[in-house]
Every structure is written in structure tokens, then in C-alpha cells.
Amino acid sequence: MAINETIQVDKILILGAGQLGMQVIINMTSRVSPGSVSVLVEPGFTTSSDKYKKEATDELNMRGVDIIPFDLSEGTETALAELFSNFQTIICCTGFIAGPGTQLKITHAALAAGVSRYFPWQFGVDYDIVGKGSGQPVFDEQYEVRQLLRSQEKTEWVIVSTGMFTSFLFEPSFGVVDFETNTIRALGSCDTRVTVTTPEDIGWLTTAIYLEEPRIANEVVLVAGDTISYGQLAAVVEEVTGKAFKRVQLSIAELNHQLAQTPDDVMLRYRAAFALGTGMWWEKSKTYNFQKGMETVDVKEWLLRHLSDVAPQA
């Protein structure tokens, strides 16, 4: 195929124009025929004074993306299915922002609409291994989405498992890397591992997976920017910052005790779930990107690029 040649595809609807959705859109519109991609956003997105939404709207318009407003929280499954019926492929990039039960509602609507292909919001951990009862209710819902997809044969599905966003490791509220006190809090133990990928890498890898020939269908596809233990993470942070970091291990028992005291603490739920280790990581050698020789951003490279954004300046 010529360098500037685009691929003719059916109509694609991407749900969400947030951090991940925009990366999928940017990569998809650069590869497929013009007019193929539409995006669903919350009502008021295009008229918002929010800087991100204004810039995203300009980007979407520049790329010729049809913008469709729809309230995923309030909209019915029937209305959503009717909307979906105009498309052959649905790629869900909305995350959990619309509240509990939304991912199941979206999946039911996709199946009711009879779309040919569905990429659910599964850009996270291996919910087959995690199963139910991890302490993180949204993980339970994700497991149910997988069960629902496997219970039918009409709609092809593709799950892209990415681990957590790389930036989330450095999210202050997550509390793993604490630049204020130069502390690394290892979830479970320093040997517990986690797989991470940047939204930018997820965007172009998801596009490549969508366009892969022969066609990928009814599969869980693993991707990874990096798979790293919390002990290795501490070493990377020390190398990049040139500072010594204290290691604190938060055992599963301790995190569960904290969770029992404050069960509604969302970040604590995430810490307790990731402390389990199981299902939260996979060997990079088993990933789509590794097997295809596609280079991704690892934790060290990400931190080198973003240190000034996440670490307080002296």
C-alpha cells in the first residue's frame, strides 16, 4: 500500500473523546478512508468553555469526524442500540465516568443493534484472571461484559488488554510514587508486578489491531508498554531523579483492613486490587506489539519525558 493511501472500511463509531478516545481517533483517521469515523460525546461537549474540550472539538472538526451528542448516563439502552445500528464497528473509550452499569448497558446495546464488531472498554487488566470479588466493583462489571460477549455469536468482539495507563503509576492520589516524601509504596510487595501502557501507544496499537489481516475476532489481545515490579519501579525513579526513595510495602492484608474502614475510597479500592498481582500483569514477550516488533514507551522513557510534570520542582 502506498504511504499516503488510506484503507476503505465500514462506518466506525468511537465512544468518548477523552484521553484515550482522542488517541484512537487520531490514529484511526490517519489510516482509514475519510468520513469513516464518528465519535459520541456528552451533550454540550462541543460548546464547552473547557480548554481540553475546545481543542478536542477543533481537532475532530479538522479530521472530518462526525460528532454525535448522547448522554450515556441518562440515555436508554434502546436509544443507544438505535444509534449503534447505523455503524458496523463500535469502539468504546468511555471508561467508567458515566457510572456503574454503563459498560454492561453499552454492550447490551451493541449486541441488540447487531453491530458487526465491538471493541468494549476493556483497556485495563486481565479480567478473566481477576474474576469477581477483587474488591473493585468496576472490575466485576468488566468480567460480566466478557461473559456476555462470549455468550453470543452474532457480534464479533475484540478485547485489547493494556494494563493501567502509565501515568496512573505517578498519579498523586493513587499514592504509589510519592515525590513529596520520596517514597515508593509497593502494592502487595516490591515483587508484585503491573503492566502499563500509554494512551498514545494504545491508540495506535488499537488501530493496528482493528486493521490487522487476517481479521482478529473474538480474541483477547495483550499489549504492553512495560511490565514492571514495584521494586523495579523504585529503581527507575531513583535513576531518573538521581534521588534515593524509601520503599514501603503495603500488604494485601493491610490494604484490605484499610478498605474495611473506608469502603467507599475509590483509590484505595484500586490499590487493594492491584496489590493482588494476579491478572494485573503479563510478560511483554506475549504481547501483540512485541510479536510485531512495534516499539512502545516503557516506564523509564515515560518518566524522562514527564518528570517536570509529575515531580515538584525544588
**pLDDT tier at 131, thresholds 50, 70, 90:** confident
Per-residue pLDDT, 79? 97
Summarize the confidence of residues 254-261 as an average pLDDT.
94
Per-residue burial over 74-102, b = 16 or more CB atoms within 10 Å of its CB, e = otherwise: ebeeeebbebbeebebbbbbbbeebeeeb
Per-residue pLDDT, 4? 57
Per-residue pLDDT, 66? 98
Per-residue pLDDT, 97? 75
Residue type, 35: G
- Does the pLDDT value for residue 313 go beyond 80? no
The SS3 call for residue 65 is coil
Per-residue burial over 222-238, b = 16 or more CB atoms within 10 Å of its CB, e = otherwise: bbbbbbbbbbbbbbbbe
Which residues make Cβ contacts (< 8 Å) with residue 265, sequence separation at least 6?
A: 258, 259
- Does the pLDDT value for residue 314 go beyond 70? no
Summarize the confidence of residues 15-23 as an average pLDDT.
97
Summarize the confidence of residues 15-42 as an average pLDDT.
97
Q: From edge to edge, which strands make up the β-sheet containing 183-187? A: 177-178, 183-187, 246-250
- Does the pLDDT value for residue 173 go beyond 80? yes
* Residue pLDDT, tens place only, 53-111: 999 999 999 999 999 999 999 999 999 999 999 999 999 999 877 778 999 999 999 99
**pLDDT tier at 1, thresholds 50, 70, 90:** very low
Summarize the confidence of residues 128-149 as an average pLDDT.
88
Per-residue pLDDT, 88? 97
The model's pTM is: 0.95
- Does the pLDDT value for residue 7 go beyond 90? no
Summarize the confidence of residues 21-50 as an average pLDDT.
97
Q: pLDDT above 90 covers what percent of the chain?
A: 88
Summarize the confidence of residues 163-178 as an average pLDDT.
96
Q: Pick from 51, 48, 41, 46: which is nearest to 16 by CA?
A: 41
